[in-house]
Structure 1
Amino acid sequence: MLLRLQDHRVGHHDGASRNSSSVSVWPQPQPQVKVKKLSKGKKHYSGIYGRLLALAAHALAEVPASAWRPCADQRNWEPDEGKNGYIMVTANGGINQQCVAICNAVVVAHLLNATLVVPKFMYSSVWKDASVRLVKELPEELKSLDLEAIGSVVTDIDVMKESKPSFYLKNILPILLQKRVVHFVGFGNRLAFDPIPFQLQTIIFSPHAVSAIIARNVRAAKPSRYLALHLRFEIDMVAHSLCEFGGGEDQRQELEAFRQIHFPALTELEKTGKLPSPAMLRSEGLCPLTPEEAVLLLAALGFNRKTQIYVAGAQIYGGKSRLAALSNLYPNLVTKEYLLSPTELEPFMNFSSQLAALDFIVCTAADAFAMTDSGSQLSSLVSGYRIYYGGGRMPTIRPNKRRLADIFVKNNTIEWKVFEQRVRKAVRQTKHVQSRPKGRSVYRYPRCKECMCRTD
């Protein structure tokens, strides 16, 4: 798939050789953008950003190396013997949550001097980390135990989010020593990043971890010239945001129905009237960028119509009609469904985590990566990976949605040149080289003394 992205001739072509749809869509799309051809090849866009999109189309028609380097492999500690017992982990969530859970499990196993049993969904070949003793399965004398009956099953309810190492030493180690085995069920975001000792933080970015395997694959696929765009605009994100996206009453009713089924607690909270209004949420930058807003951002930053764009994500809310602006302004638009034939995709179908892994690999290898929501797991892990392995040559566009909201609200009056200037200023003034703030994820902010070193 990466090799096909190197072919600059890739573009929209006969669907007989590829899937007919370039992007997976939600089954019942709500039309958002209509494109009408006018005289002399001009196009008119209707919808919430119709005027700005028309200006963007017209504009496109006309037209620092980092001092940080990876050093987590410079460790000064010896691997443990795993003699205190066995730890099993069943990671929940998608591929990105699973990656975080697995890395945290390695840290906890080392902290407790335990032997880690490889999670069942992982292939044993990726486990090359020398910091922890690893086995494929429990020894025979422990296999027959009813772990739940003996109190060895620990769920997310039992472990607070981002628990400190002291919690595991005080509460989990006694169970491990007495029962010889602990099974973590869930284990999503159950390890704090502060205070984690230096020698434990470095485990996370071991050169032999899963991320290094991906790194080798990425390097083998270079050089490539494309922008990867993660559109986090699936219906779950749209509904949970409580924002409005120009679809009127029909869209509000559809999203409310989705919330009642999937986010009942949020629906009950809505009834109290204590939640911010959609307008307030948007002004505070709490709404995910729409595909139209992503188009305007890219156009303002100078990406021209020839830019080859890989779109990560699936089931974009609103379907093809919601993507009309993106596909019309950027015709060299591809996805995994477009690059791979149905036969090539077949082994991954019905495995959402594996499909997400394809997006992750392509996004990490891109010349530039743009996200529309900095809080998503995929975007966070991709940007952290690019910081760690990129050497300052793998830029990530992380929009300041609050500042952009103030610019977008003037879509009916602002001139294109002024819009370009304001967007570029907002991006330019966003801090690019940022050390990890206290308590924040090292997966997203690897620039810290535990993981990276400065060369200046």
Structure 2
Amino acid sequence: MMMMMMKKKIQRDDESMIRLQILLEDLVFSRHLHLLPLLSTACACWLLLFAALSFLSPPISNHHLALKATFHDGVGIHMNVEKQNVFRIPKRGGSSGPELWTSHQSKFFYGCSNASKNFITASMSTRPDRYLLITTSGGLNQQRTGIIDAVVAAYILNATLVVPKLDRESFWNDSSNFSDIFDVDWFITYLSKDVKIIKQLPEKAGKVITTHVPRNCDPKCYQTRILPIFDRKRVVHLTKFDYRLSNWLDMDLQKLRCRVNYHGLRFTHPILAMGRKLVERMRTKGKHFLGLHLRFEADMLAFSGCYYGGGEKEMKELSEMRKRWITLHKKDPDRERRQGKCPLSPEEVGLMLRALGYGDEVHIYVASGEIYGGEAAMAPLRALFPNLHTKESIGSKQELAEFSAYSSRMAAVDFIVCDQSDVFVTNNNGNMAKILGGRRRYFGQKPTIRPNAKKLNRLLVKRNKMRWEEFASQVRTFQIGFMGEIESGSGSGSGSGSGSGVFHENPLSCICTNSTENGSTRRRDDDDDDELVLLEDLSKYDDDDDD
């Protein structure tokens, strides 16, 4: 009985609650009845907008961002959403033929640097009361250009050249002397017919006048600026001597440059021996090997003013480093990249090489300092080309001990290995790239790849919007003329442009046409001594060859 009464009570309470809820809803509805048309219109607009977005948007399976996947089985995948492309980087290069490792021009050109019959020798031209001192500037290859031009400047001034002093105070902080890197006795002896060179300034020479000349100074410039000093004093010292001689000289002066560069400058025997060992070890790893000069150190990136996506940390670090160069103006990174002035990153070098046909089986000798970003920066290149080697990885600490504390000596070892590589590649067009580019032209037209950075930059930026085949085809097109070919268009006695180092990269005055296609020996153009230039494998580094 009690249970029956409780159930009826609960039922009455529920009915009361329901009636109260209905009453409240009626009140709210009547109060907001006038808002119904507005609510209906708003809902209709939202439905139309949703329909439009659904029609225009890509399928849900596509991501709005370009996703860069990791490498699986040697294949890199970049997803592209706009064209629904997949940027697949092939594991193989697509070509393994000899065209990757040889130049078709090697049969037709050879180096020729002997003086003409009109060249006045040192014994006839050198004044006994004139001594020229030179202090070079920069790293090893920048200093090399200074040494080369110092010999020519001494010839122009009819002066005795004192063996040049190397830069010991700049960023590289290397205490090496000339004789620590180059064979000084060979240097003096080989060039004795051209310029008189001595190891030290005689005590009786008198007071030294220190001055400088502007960059790209031609013979008339030297005669105007320096000869009046020699009329008063016997010794002139030129400081910061790099690229202080014009690219545009007469034929005999250009050939003198080549005799100094390709024959007079030879590395010391310890450096040559170390270089030979590393070349031999690279040869055991495969039929061919590629030498890569990778300038991607912090100082290089700071000097370039370029940006590589490292965020605030990168910008702060490189900005602080740029303060070391007082005269260096602030640069616009985007503008520098558009103009092709930014060195390619390790990943970009790898993409270029794969597009040119080099597969993941290729062995690469990497010549570089400490890469900015460390192994993380190298990882994309290593994924494309696992067989990366350095002097530290194929040479023991004991073998490298006598060189490791000296940046210029270590650079000299790298120079030898890159010079002897079947193909030489650089990520920028710095001093080593220019010097080695010219040298490889002079000694047999060996393939030398310099990136066409201006055009490659535009292509690399949009690579995720195209398929690999299109990307690779455009890379090959853009690289025509940047593979170490002889560049024509300059006068016989000139360089190939007004930029610094251009003659050293493309020494047209010292490249002769070969009338025959067989044989490895070519006669030099000096009828007085009939000396022969041997254009055979320079890895022997015999005493009669240069470094």
Query: Which aligned pairs between 1:370-449 and structure 2 lie closer than 5 A?
Result: 370-374=425-429, 376-390=430-444, 392=445, 394-428=446-480, 430=482, 432-435=485-488, 436-440=495-499, 441-448=502-509
Q: Report the CA distance between 1:180 and its aligned residue.
A: 1.4
C-alpha separation in 1, matches of 2:357 and 2:85? 15
Query: Which aligned pairs between 1:169-318 and structure 2 lie closer than 5 A?
Result: 169-194=223-248, 196-206=249-259, 208-210=263-265, 225-259=288-322, 261-266=323-328, 269-270=329-330, 276=332, 278-318=333-373
Q: Secondary structure at the match of 1:311?
A: strand
Q: Deviations over 1:357-385 (max 9, x none)?
A: 111111111100111112x0011101110
CA contact (8 A) 1:34 1:321 kept: no
CA contact (8 A) 2:293 2:368 kept: yes
Q: Report the CA distance between 1:265 and its aligned residue.
A: 4.5
Q: Report the CA distance between 1:241 and its aligned residue.
A: 2.5
- Size of the aligned set, in residue pairs, is 396
Q: Report the CA distance between 1:34 and its aligned residue.
A: 9.7
CA contact (8 A) 1:52 1:416 kept: no
C-alpha separation in 2, matches of 1:65 and 1:304? 24
Partner residue in 1 for 2:116: 75
Q: Deviations over 1:156-209 (max 9, x none)?
A: xx3111111112212212322432111222211111122x22222211111641
Query: Which aligned pairs between 1:339-354 and structure 2 lie closer than 5 A?
Result: 339-354=394-409
Give the gaps of 5 or more residues in structure 1.
1-32
CA contact (8 A) 2:69 2:77 kept: yes
What is the TM-score normalised by the length of structure 1? 0.78
Q: Residue 65 of structure 1 is aligned with which of 89, 102, 105?
A: 105
Q: Residue 155 of structure 2 is aligned with which of 86, 110, 125?
A: 110
C-alpha separation in 1, matches of 2:326 and 2:413? 32
C-alpha separation in 1, matches of 2:477 and 2:384? 23
Residue 159 (1) aligns with residue 216 (2): no
CA contact (8 A) 2:86 2:467 kept: no
Partner residue in 1 for 2:142: 97
TM-aligned CA distance change 1:136 to 1:85, over 3 Å: same
C-alpha separation in 2, matches of 1:414 and 1:281? 24
Q: Secondary structure at the match of 2:413?
A: helix
Q: Secondary structure at the match of 1:184?
A: strand
Partner residue in 2 for 1:27: none
Amino acid at match of 1:241: S
C-alpha separation in 1, matches of 2:447 and 2:400? 29
CA contact (8 A) 1:53 1:325 kept: no
Amino acid at match of 2:185: S
TM-aligned CA distance change 1:367 to 1:52, over 3 Å: farther
RMSD: 3.2
TM-aligned CA distance change 1:171 to 1:60, over 3 Å: closer
What is the TM-score normalised by the length of structure 2? 0.66
Give the gaps of 5 or more residues in structure 2.
1-66, 97-103, 166-176, 489-494, 516-547
Higher RCO (CA 8 Å, separation ≥ 6 residues): 1
C-alpha separation in 2, matches of 1:52 and 1:230? 33
TM-aligned CA distance change 1:398 to 1:43, over 3 Å: closer
C-alpha separation in 2, matches of 1:53 and 1:369? 31
C-alpha separation in 2, matches of 1:160 and 1:336? 37
Amino acid at match of 2:89: A
Q: Deviations over 1:30-61 (max 9, x none)?
A: xxx998576xx57768999xx99972254559
